């Protein structure tokens, strides 16, 4: 953990998860109220390690006065119900998450249904969708319901005793991505909006406003990254891995990577129209099956960029969408 963050009274508590991404970073903010950003997933191992990490700083779960959530994914909010029951802490989260968290299991089931429809529309075989749905259902126990007592909106200011945190909605990786900006200290708590070692996946998640339209997750995520690029941050605390000391350079690398990936996908369309799943299989092989929604979201997002650039068109037939190149792929190089 950066000594700079510790000097500012913020401690990284790295909690284990059952997911491929590995440990998740929760952040203890030594302030009034004593604040925890994110919780880790709902598992006994995660709870044990979180308690030990708090104890290393002379704190207990019962001391928490405020829990802030960066977004809706299970590894970031799964222990919420347990922690609130033991501490009585307030819960601050994006206002759109309040109805979502009222019944996490129901919301997660709706997410899975939405994801299944997206996968079907973009070429994933039905039997694979069924199998992945069963896997998704088995993971729901790692999440948590909860009562959002402090609904937050973009631009809101959280006043703690020794610092002010501005709430900024930065959707893309999820519909609810929320970052907390401490302008005085030039410090940003970013959740999964920015991660140093891996690119955050722009998932085609179910909209939280009740609409049924497919989100343009990568287009939205790029807009969010460009907005974050303008912040004069000196240190970014991420949801996974190490802190980021130069977020501008990181964002520039990510933007360039997405341009290269879009150009590579355009070349794959040279032989004729393909579904998003076809493209995913050509790029990732068997991973496109085991991680179908993740890889499909990646392809759809880059196709959105190519459609916006006038280089690709969507073609729908019998409920299945294929993508067709409108330009010579070599001319589409960026």
Residue 331: Cβ within 10 Å count: 9
Could you tell me the pTM of the whole model? 0.94
The radius of gyration computed from the CA coordinates of the chain, to the nearest angstrom, equals 20
Query: Hey, what are 244's tokens?
Result: 């980021």
What domains can be seen in the chain, in order of their start residue? 3-104+140-254 (3.60.15.10), 261-325 (1.10.10.10)
Q: 290 pLDDT exceeds 70?
A: yes
pLDDT of the residue at 331: 62
Say which residue the tokens 């969010």 belong to: 224
Mean pLDDT of all residues belonging to the chain:
94
Q: Which of 212, 209, 304 is nearest to 258 (CA)?
A: 304
Dump the DSSP string for 49-90. HHHHHHHHTT--GGG--EEE-S-S-HHHHTTHHHHHHHH--E
Do residues 201 and 297 touch, judged by C-beta distance below 8 A? yes
- Express as a percent the part of the chain with pLDDT over 70: 98
Burial class, 114, CB count within 10 angstroms (exposed 0-12 / middle 13-18 / buried 19+): middle
Rounded to an integer, the average pLDDT of 47-72 is 98
pLDDT confidence bin for 94, thresholds 50/70/90: very high
State pLDDT tens for residues 192-224.
Answer: 999 999 889 899 999 998 887 899 999 999 999
Do residues 177 and 77 touch, judged by C-beta distance below 8 A? no
Q: Which of 100, 209, 105, 79 is nearest to 147 (CA)?
A: 100
Burial class, 210, CB count within 10 angstroms (exposed 0-12 / middle 13-18 / buried 19+): exposed
Helix (H, G, I), strand (E, B) or coil at 235: strand
Dist CA 135 CA 294 (whole Å): 14
């Amino acid at each position: 953990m950066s000594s700079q963050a510790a000097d500012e009274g913020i401690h990284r508590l790295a909690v284990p998860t059952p997911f491929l991404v590995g440990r998740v970073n929760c952040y203890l903010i030594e302030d009034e109220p004593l604040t925890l950003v994110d919780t880790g997933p709902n598992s006994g191992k995660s709870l044990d390690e979180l308690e030990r990490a708090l104890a290393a700083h002379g704190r207990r779960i019962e001391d928490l006065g405020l829990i802030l959530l960066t977004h809706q994914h299970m590894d970031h909010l799964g222990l919420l119900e347990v922690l609130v029951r033991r501490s009585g802490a307030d819960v601050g989260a994006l206002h759109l998450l309040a109805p979502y968290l009222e019944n996490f299991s129901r919301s997660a089931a709706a997410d899975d249904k939405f994801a299944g429809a997206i996968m079907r529309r973009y070429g994933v075989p039905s039997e694979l969708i069924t199998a992945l749905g069963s896997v998704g259902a088995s993971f729901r126990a790692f999440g948590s319901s909860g009562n959002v007592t402090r609904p937050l909106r973009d631009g809101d200011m959280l006043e703690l005793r020794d610092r002010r945190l501005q709430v900024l909605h930065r959707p893309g990786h999820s519909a609810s991505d929320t970052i907390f900006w401490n302008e005085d200290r030039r410090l940003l708590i970013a959740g999964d909006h920015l991660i140093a070692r891996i690119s955050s996946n722009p998932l085609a998640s179910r909209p939280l406003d009740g609409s049924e339209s497919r989100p343009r997750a990568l287009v939205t995520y790029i807009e969010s990254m460009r907005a974050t690029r303008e912040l004069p941050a000196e240190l970014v605390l991420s949801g996974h891995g190490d802190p980021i000391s130069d977020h501008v350079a990181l964002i520039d690398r990510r933007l360039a990577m997405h341009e290269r990936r879009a150009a590579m996908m355009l070349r794959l369309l040279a032989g004729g129209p393909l579904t998003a799943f076809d493209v995913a299989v050509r790029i990732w092989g068997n991973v496109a099956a085991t991680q179908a929604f993740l890889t499909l979201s990646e392809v759809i997002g880059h196709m959105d960029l190519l459609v916006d650039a006038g280089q690709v068109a969507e073609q729908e037939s019998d409920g299945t969408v294929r993508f067709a190149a409108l330009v010579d792929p070599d001319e589409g190089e960026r």
